[in-house]
Chain A
Amino acid sequence: MVKIGIMLNAAPLQNQSHYTAVKIAEAALDKGHEVTIFLYDESVYSPMKAQEFPEWESLPRDNFERLIKKGAEIIACGLCVDIRGLEEGKGYIEGIIVGGLADFANVVSLVDRIITFC
């Protein structure tokens, strides 16, 4: 079993980063590995509950809900949350931890690898 840390920086709808990170995280979880995702910069929009788009089967928040159910830990950078007016993650889905860079430093301590998506 490997411990994988993922630093996600990109906004959920900016490019393919969100979906690639989710796919890698899900594949790792399905194989029994541990995954912690640290949301930094624009990626802190990803877990907002109030996402709607009728033609999409799986919105960014749905992807994160699925990962959390499979055991992933997801931490959002608190300063990134606050500077974007996200009110300490009040609009987030259940299970998202709003923390800080100290948490990312801790993730680095605990994991075997970090994968970054900008």
Chain B
Amino acid sequence: MSSASINSSAGSLADAPAHVEKRRGWLASVVHHALSRWGTRLSLAWIGLVAFCAVFAPFLANSFPLLVKIDGHWSSPAMTHLTAVDVTLVIAVFSSIVILNFKGLSRLAQAGIFLVILLATLTIAHFVIKPPLVRGYEEYRELKQEGRVQAMLPAPIPYSPSDHLKDQFDFTHPQPWAPSGSHLFGTEQNGEDVLSVMIYACRIAMSIGFISTGIAVFIGIIVGGFMGYFVGWVDLLGMRLVEVFGAIPTIYLLLAFCAAFERDIYMVMAIIGLTGWTSDARFVRAEFLRLRGQDFVHAAIAAGLPLRSVLFRHLLPNALAPILVSASFGVAAAILSESVLSFLGLGLPVDAASWGRLLNQSVGQGGGFHLWLAMYPGLAIFLTVFSYNVIGESLRDALDPRLNPQ
């Protein structure tokens, strides 16, 4: 991928003699090396599962049945209650699979086509898809009890995350309910099914992880790139900025931001991105410092290329692998930050489906302890953070020339 790379395919030659004839770029060889570990593969499998749950959430957990026959008529309440975001996610996944199978296109063109499709779908879906505003989650349960339902295909988990089980309200047996046959992971304080909330929470985890890391990496590349390329007083100034942001403990900075700004998901993403860019900037700076003296950079400058081109077309592709390491740890940190904020009750709005919010409810005011509210969401946060850390770690090992003799 990186045309100017000098030590291309060196890493893969040593350990994969079967692929000797296949030459890879530096980045590709690093990724290949990292993927050869089973720990990385397991981590990717878990992240894949989380991503699957995030995309297909309404088909996995829904109070509305997927298919139902009422008074002789078939209908799909789950489909009519899909939101624009639900539809966009599914279309995005299928279109990305199709695009990746077009071999003739370059990666950049593929990414461009994907972005265009994504934006177009989102815009169209936003205007076309108008799900009913009032959602009677108990409607089909009541219809079934009345005996008007002849046939029904419910979702695997027949509860939506904001379904408060109003029809099953019980004075003698207050919420939260312990796990049982109908609620595998139990319910939380408001009667929401924990498993269904956890499935929808995958969306928040994935989107916060990627978008806030994207923001952080973007700022990190700009600041770190300028520091590493220009050196001198730009570097001095930039390092002070990095130091300032690094000195205030991230969580205090996050809390201060949360105290000042209104709480919605986009704000939380922006805040986590704004507080997390320092390590990316350090990485990019170190890489640019190393590369700026090399011949291909001098050649690019001598050819009269504009600064934009030197920085982002010649230097950046060669610094991508370390950025990948830093971004991988960054995603873990961002997911953790979001769940800490939700745990403290200061992050997302209180009705958002988030793992941290469930964890928050596990220790009651009176000293009671709801194991299922601590166990499953905590395990989900842990596994996700652990997976990204394992991936980051193996990418770093793959980059390390000492561990990886050429």
User: Is B truly associated with A?
Assistant: no
Report which B residues bind A (CB closer than 8 A): none
